[in-house]
Structure formats: C-alpha cells, structure tokens
C-alpha cells in the first residue's frame, strides 16, 4: 500500500554551524515574536526559508528560492552522496515528567489521493495555509517542512532497522528551545531499507500532523501533471518528504487538546442534569489552579476512553462528568454533540466564529476560565492510537483539533529538493 523511498537529503553542514541555532518549529506554530527572534539568532536559520518576513509580499517566495540556492552554492547546505532513509531519535520530557524517546524516520512518500485509503487524513483543513504553501512549493521546488505520518507496528518490528541508523553515530544533534534533543542518523544499510519499504508496503498510514502540507503536495502534483503529462509515475512531484513513526511505540505521545467555551457562563446544576441525562458526576474542590493536573490525573484519567470531561468555570469547583460508552462511539465526538452543542448550544457556525478555543495544556485553559466570567474550560482525556486508526480506517475524520502529538518535528534537520544532483 504505502510506497516509501530513500532519498538524497539536503542537510546543513554541521562542521560549519551549530544545528541547534538553525532548526525552528513548524511554520504553523511559530508566534510573531518567535519569528523575529529566530531571524536574529543566526543568518542561516531555517526560518529564512520556512517563514521569512518577506513571504506574502511581492517577490517573497522567489526570495526564498534565491536564499536556498545561495546556501547550496556556499556549501551551507549539502546533498548527501547516496540515497538513504534518515532515522530520528527525539529525547524529551512529557508533561507528566516522564523521560521518553520517540524514534522514526524520514523518507519520500509516494503521493496518494485520499480516496485510495492509503494515506488517510484524520482532520479537515482550511484553504488559507494551503495557498501559502503552494506558492512556496512552486518557487522552491523543494520540501522544506515535513508531513508527519503514523503507521501501526504493535510488535515494534522496525525497531532494529531504525536503530541501524545510529550504528556509526549521529549525523547531527540539536536541542530545540523546548529542551527536546534531536539526533539524526542515516539508514544506509540495504537490508534495513528493504525491511522498512516492505513493512510499509503492506499498510496504510495516517497523517498525524501536516495535513496542509500533504494536500499542498497533492495540488502541486496535479498542477505539474497537467503541465508535464508524460513525466510518469516516478517524477519528483509524485513524492513528498515525510516522517514516519510507530503509533504504538512508547515514545509516540498522543496528548489531548482541551476546549474552552467562550460563551458561558457555566450552566447551573439543574441545567447540567436536564441536558445530560444518564451522565454521572462528582464535584472536586480546586483551591489552587496549579493542582489541576494532579486532580485530573486522579479523577478524570481513570475514566479512560469512555465519554467523560471535567468542567472548570474558575469558581473553585471542578465538575467531573462521565457515562458508559456505546459501542463504536468516540469520546471527543460525544463531547461536541452532547456538551458543546447540547449543553452550551454552540453549533458549527458558532464554533467557526470563535466561540471555542483549543488550549493544548491545562494551565492555559484554566487561565482563561479564571480571567473571564463567560468562559468554561472543558478538560478531556487523550485519544488512543486505536481511536485514530479506527476512525480513519472507516473513512471518517475526527473533530477539529482532537489530537496533539509531542514532540513536534523541527524544520531544518533534513530537506528534499526535486532535482537531486548527479
């Protein structure tokens, strides 16, 4: 099913610069202040080709292409001499304090339309970011940032192949501003590469992050097919740069994205009871917002994947709700249907107009709930890999912002150009 290939990566020459100073987060999570700081940090920062200040102005995308070409001429960026998969080992600290390591690899993914059910999306996307990335792709003819994909490997059969990428030591090591250490290795062994390709050829993959990037690559492919009808199935634009990780490996951390309803206030007890028939609940005292993570670990986490949530209106009382599951239902969908819409009356139009926020940590959600009388935080448990694969396997998508995979993939570890040198 999934067609993945080795490639000649374009990488920073780590003998000339510090990789930690030039990698940056994905373009869509960089704040305006961070953008300025990354520009000032190093003249060869990946921000200058991933999210330069000029993009959006006349000639901005062409400037990125010129920068990329100049760095290649100067030897700041160099193509590796032979095709390979690139192993990535990321050591990080989870929100609960656990030390984890996620391993995966970079390769070229053959682009497939969603209808073929080989590459499967798990959420819907917006048009705006895709238009920007398409202009960037046209100008640079290069994949600068990454599509993040998950595969099912419950037995961890590819662990040995991934580990082989570090047999001779890493190609480069970098630490990002969040304290994550990234070690890049080359999987050059033919047997390891074949094992990876054979394993994925029998399985579909799910997009964990980078839906906009993938759909942009599809749009560019279709555009180039129309311009070059005889290019064939092996044309460079038929592939995109992707990162692959085992959804069931210990270091693949899937975190929840909470909700904050901005059109409160929280309903009285009678309304909760009336609009959530069949739900049970308990009240938990919150004397200090800093204690919320431990309270949620004690009272919400044990409820697992059944429909459940904790409502926090900043009053000092946390309301924990749950009910028994109906076979096949998904907790995050139940939350949207029975709570966000059923209790608070927010339809899709209201959500699009900003009635709902999506904080990625408890502290951010709690701060909003305590700064406004009309805001209610709804804390949720994370989905499991089984949920993601079950929904996407059925050809469905999750509600917007249902999953948050940690750590993010930085831009700058490896790039891919459509025209590799001979």
Burial class (CB in 10 A: 0-12, 13-18, 19+), 305: middle
- Phi/psi for 289 (5° steps) reads -55, -25
Q: Inform me whether the pLDDT recorded for 55 exceeds 60.
A: no
Percent above pLDDT 70 for the chain: 97
Predicted confidence band of residue 265 (pLDDT cuts 50, 70, 90): confident
Percent above pLDDT 90 for the chain: 81
Q: State pLDDT tens for residues 268-299.
A: 999 999 999 999 999 999 999 999 999 999 99
Is the model more confident about 399 or about 41? 41
DSSP state of 114: G
Query: pTM here?
Result: 0.92
Q: State pLDDT tens for residues 146-185.
A: 999 999 999 999 999 999 999 989 999 999 999 999 999 9
CA dist 10 and 65 (Å) reads 14
Q: Residue 421's Cα: distance from chain center in Å?
A: 31
Predicted confidence band of residue 58 (pLDDT cuts 50, 70, 90): very low
Query: What letters, b where the CB count within 10 A reaches 16 and e where it falls short, cover 1-40?
Result: ebbbebbebbbbebeeeebbebbbbbbeebeeeebeebbe
Q: Inform me whether the pLDDT recorded for 250 exceeds 90.
A: no
Judge contact between 250 and 100, C-beta under 8 A. yes
């Amino acid at each position: 099913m999934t067609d993945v290939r080795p490639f000649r990566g374009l990488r920073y020459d780590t003998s000339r610069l510090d990789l930690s100073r030039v990698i940056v987060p994905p373009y869509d999570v960089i704040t305006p202040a961070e953008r300025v700081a990354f520009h000032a940090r190093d003249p060869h920062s990946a921000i200058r080709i991933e999210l330069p200040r000029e993009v959006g102005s006349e000639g901005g995308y062409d400037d990125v292409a010129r920068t990329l070409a100049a760095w290649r001429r100067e030897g700041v960026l160099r193509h590796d001499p032979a095709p390979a998969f690139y192993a990535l080992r990321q050591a990080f600290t989870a929100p609960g304090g656990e030390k984890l390591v996620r391993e995966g690899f970079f390769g070229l993914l053959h682009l497939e339309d969603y209808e073929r059910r080989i590459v499967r999306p798990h959420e819907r996307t917006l048009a705006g970011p895709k238009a920007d990335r398409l202009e960037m792709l046209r100008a640079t003819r290069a994949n600068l940032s990454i599509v993040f994909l998950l595969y099912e490997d419950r037995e961890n059969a590819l662990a040995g192949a991934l580990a082989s990428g570090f047999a001779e030591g890493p190609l480069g090591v970098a630490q990002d501003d969040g304290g994550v250490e990234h070690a890049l290795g080359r999987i050059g062994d033919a047997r390891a590469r074949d094992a990876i390709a054979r394993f994925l050829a029998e399985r579909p993959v799910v997009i964990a992050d980078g839906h906009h990037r993938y759909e942009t690559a599809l749009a560019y492919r279709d555009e180039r097919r129309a311009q070059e009808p005889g290019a064939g199935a092996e044309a460079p634009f038929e592939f995109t740069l992707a990162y692959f990780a085992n959804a069931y490996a210990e270091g693949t951390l899937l975190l929840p994205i909470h909700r904050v309803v901005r059109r409160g206030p929280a309903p009285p007890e009678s309304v909760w009871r009336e609009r959530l028939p069949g739900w049970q609940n308990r009240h938990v005292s919150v004397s200090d917002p800093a204690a919320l993570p431990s309270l949620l670990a004690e009272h919400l986490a044990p409820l697992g994947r059944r429909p459940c949530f904790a409502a926090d209106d900043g009053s000092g009382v946390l309301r924990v709700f749950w009910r028994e599951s109906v076979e096949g239902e998904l907790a995050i969908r139940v939350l949207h249907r029975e709570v966000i819409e059923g209790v608070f009356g927010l339809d899709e139009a209201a959500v699009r107009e900003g009635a709902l926020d999506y904080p990625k940590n408890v502290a951010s959600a709690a701060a909003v709930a305590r700064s406004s009388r009309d805001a209610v935080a709804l804390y949720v448990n994370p989905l499991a890999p089984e949920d993601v694969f079950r929904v996407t396997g059925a050809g469905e998508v999750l509600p917007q912002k249902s999953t948050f995979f940690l750590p993010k993939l930085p831009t700058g570890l490896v790039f891919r150009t459509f025209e590799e040198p001979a």
